[in-house]
Amino acid sequence: MSAIRFEHVFKSFHEQVVLRDFSMEVQPAETKVILGGSGSGKTTILKMVLGLVKPDSGRVFVEDQDITDLDEAELMPIRRKIGMVFQEGALFDSLTVGENVAYQMREDRTYREEQIEKVVRKLLGFVGLEDVIDKFTSELSGGMRRRVGIARALVGNPRILLYDSPTAGLDPITGHTICELVIRLRDLEGVSSIFVTHNLESAMTLASEFAEVQPDGHLAFKSEGGNLCLINTRFVMLKDGIVLFEGSDEALKEVDDEYIQEFLT
Ligand SMILES: Nc1ncnc2c1ncn2[C@@H]1O[C@H](COP(=O)(O)OP(=O)(O)OP(=O)(O)O)[C@@H](O)[C@H]1O
Ligand SMILES: [Mg+2]
């Protein structure tokens, strides 16, 4: 089974070709890091996984189900399997942090208020923000907003997570905190994910660190000499609508391509 699969996807907006024969597979519990410049089609790819954007041709699969031609009603159960961390956060500034995370559960009208409260506290605890539950999101720093976005994406324990540039514009330490949340979900929860970024430092953190529960029950992040090539994290480099490279971080550094080497420096 694959978690997500694109088969020969083409997509244009008006005259502009964004994806040309794009194929990619995300294995269960794998993180696929998509690197590419601004406008290369990264957000478009994530929206296709949710069925928010349809390919002109080619197929998109989620857990081996072909979602390409599904309508809005048929997409509902698919979208429940997926958590999306939006590029711009997409938080409601007129709501508190807790209300933002609770939003979808309240809309569903199938949860009791005590249940919602419990889930919200647990998720905010996971991202280290239980203290700001009653603050308005407009009062938060950029890094905190991103963490609220992650907490909200985790509602319903999705098996698939889509992260749209979650470390863009953050200082390296805050960016690293976000990466560690992604690594925890990958290594301890077995979540499958796509991590879109043009932040190379984040990409390399994901490729070189792993999370492990210690015998004493504590969580530790490890990286072995920085040369570790994790098998559960692979890179895809997009350019001009095609996959310029796919493989490990080590292989990426070896590629004989001017654009890639420039991107890496
Ligand atoms: N709904 C749309 N209508 C018209 N053009 C669009 C639409 N969505 C995306 N595009 C165009 O498709 C191209 C790819 O957009 P996309 O948002 O996927 O890029 P991106 O790789 O996410 O860029 P960034 O790193 O800046 O977020 C851009 O040139 C964009 O202008
Ligand atoms: Mg984008």
CA of 237 from ligand 1 middle (Å) equals 16
How far CA 245 is from CA of 31, 156, 236, 257, in Å, comes to 16, 34, 6, 10
Percent of the chain predicted with pLDDT > 70: 97
User: What are the residue boundaries of the structural domains of the chain, listed by start?
Assistant: 29-47+71-233+246-264
* Per-chain residues with Cβ under 5 A from ion ligand 2: 43, 87
Tell me which CATH code domain 29-47+71-233+246-264 carries.
3.40.50.300
144-183 pLDDT per residue, tens: 898 899 999 999 899 999 999 988 888 888 889 889 989 9
Q: Is 197 in the pocket of ligand 1 (CB under 6 A)?
A: no
Give me 23's structure tokens: 């194929």
Q: Is 18 in the pocket of ligand 1 (CB under 6 A)?
A: yes
From CA 265, how far away is CA 254, in angstroms rounded?
Answer: 13
From CA 21, how far away is CA 33, in angstroms rounded?
Answer: 19
Instruction: Please tell me the pTM assigned to this model.
Output: 0.92
Strand, helix or coil at 213?
strand
162-172 pLDDT per residue, tens: 999 988 888 88
Q: Is 44 in the pocket of ligand 1 (CB under 6 A)?
A: yes
30-84 pLDDT per residue, tens: 999 999 988 999 999 999 999 999 999 999 999 999 999 999 999 999 999 999 9
Query: By alpha-carbon position, which residue is closest to atom 8 of ligand 1?
Result: 44
